[in-house]
Amino acid sequence: MTAPEFLDRASALAIGEDWLAAAIAPSGAYGARDAQIRRRFLAGEERAANAQASRIARIAERFDLDAMEAVRATLARLPDIASALARVDVGDSLEDAQALALLRFADGAIELQSRLAECRDLPDCAGESVDRLRALFERGRVGSHAFYLHDSFDDALRAERERFDEARARFESARGRLERNVAESLGRGARLDEEFIVMREALVAPLPPGVRVVREAPTYLLCEIDLDEETRVLLDRREEAARRVALAEERVRASLAQRVSNLRDGLVRTMMHLGEIDAAIAAALWTRRFACRPAESSSEGGIEIVEGRWLPLQERLETGGGAFVPSSLSWT
């Protein structure tokens, strides 16, 4: 963080500006984005500054340290869905990774809403858009760390996958028949791999029908099964069925992306609220940890400090087993 407008760099270093910035740094992507656009209060904005300080103090009173640390941990785990929303904005479909990110985002936002619902000093971080987002992708949840485009997303997708499974089973059955015939001819009891080696010294007769030589070496032949006409037809049908499954999946992904696009405004609003919450909780945690009281600002000249502490020094002293003695000062 750079020094604020009213401080030169040397003054910022002297009063521990970097220490303060690190102490109230946000924990997640949305808080970091909020910090980039949030500006400091300037002269003439004393009333707004006082209101913000009082708000942070109330939040610090409302939650204990453990509760605020738990909120920060959840904020840190929230995936950044900006890239997923950018994809749907330009008409792209959603891959499994983006779908999982959206689902985890909804989970986290709803969890935070339940933790923070009773605090009126924080904005809502869930609502209809988030609820609809989770409902949209819930059926694809696989445990807590994966997403799968389940058949239940679309009846046509289910039908295409069933046809593919049937085509694959027919092909594998026919190929298995060829493999068994070749294995018996070569005197092998085990199932053959897609490519297999025949040692020259083991050949007592020419290679049986249905075997194609892929590569010859001085001591062995690298071979594969040579599909007959019936099996080639079944292979083509399997490949066509796979192509149709891919097209059906893409249609479903495009449909999901369009439905996410319809929720975009609400999700962007939630992202902004999460950034505000991250900033506020970071400040409130710092406030409670150091037992701070909100400063009062006014347009009148003078500065009065009652039992003031320089927290960077206090922290260093206490870490080393020392103690900091507060001081009261007044300038007019």
293-308 residue pLDDT tens: 887 766 777 888 888 8
Domain containing 68 — which CATH number?
1.10.1420.10
Q: How far is the C-alpha of 116 from the C-alpha of 241, rounded, in Å?
A: 50
Q: Backbone phi, then psi, for 61, in 5-degree steps?
A: -75, -30
Together in a domain, 308 and 331: yes
Q: Which tens digits make up the pLDDT trace of 105-119? A: 999 999 999 999 889
- What is the per-residue pLDDT for 295? 77
Share of the chain above pLDDT 90, in %: 64
Together in a domain, 87 and 228: no
Together in a domain, 284 and 326: no
- What is the per-residue pLDDT for 2? 47
Q: Is residue 3 part of a domain?
A: no
Q: Are 53 and 304 spatial neighbours (Cβ–Cβ below 8 Å)?
A: no
Residue-averaged pLDDT of the chain: 91
Together in a domain, 268 and 119: yes
Q: Are 220 and 199 spatial neighbours (Cβ–Cβ below 8 Å)?
A: yes
Together in a domain, 122 and 24: yes
Together in a domain, 54 and 123: yes
- Read off the pLDDT band of 47 (50, 70, 90): confident
- Read off the pLDDT band of 4 (50, 70, 90): low
Q: Is residue 138 part of a domain?
A: yes
Q: Is residue 116 part of a domain?
A: yes
Q: Is residue 102 part of a domain?
A: yes
Together in a domain, 114 and 203: no
- What is the per-residue pLDDT for 313? 83
Together in a domain, 120 and 41: yes
Q: Is residue 197 part of a domain?
A: yes
* Contact residues for 89 (Cβ-Cβ < 8 A; gap 6+): 261, 264
Q: Is residue 2 part of a domain?
A: no
Q: Is residue 219 part of a domain?
A: yes
Q: Which tens digits make up the pLDDT trace of 119-129? A: 999 999 989 99
Q: Are 74 and 111 spatial neighbours (Cβ–Cβ below 8 Å)?
A: yes
Together in a domain, 332 and 207: no
Let me know how long the chain is: 332
Q: Are 179 and 225 spatial neighbours (Cβ–Cβ below 8 Å)?
A: yes
How many domains does the chain contain in total? Answer: 3
- What is the per-residue pLDDT for 190? 63
Domain end point (choices 216, 251, 286)? 251
Together in a domain, 136 and 264: yes
Domain containing 181 — which CATH number?
1.10.1420
Q: Is residue 161 part of a domain?
A: yes
Together in a domain, 130 and 88: yes
**Greater model confidence, 247 or 117:** 247
Question: How confident is the model over 224-232, as a mean pLDDT?
Answer: 94
Domain, as residue range, for 316: 301-332
Together in a domain, 127 and 102: yes
Domain end point (choices 234, 251, 268)? 251
Question: What pTM was estimated for this model as a whole?
Answer: 0.82
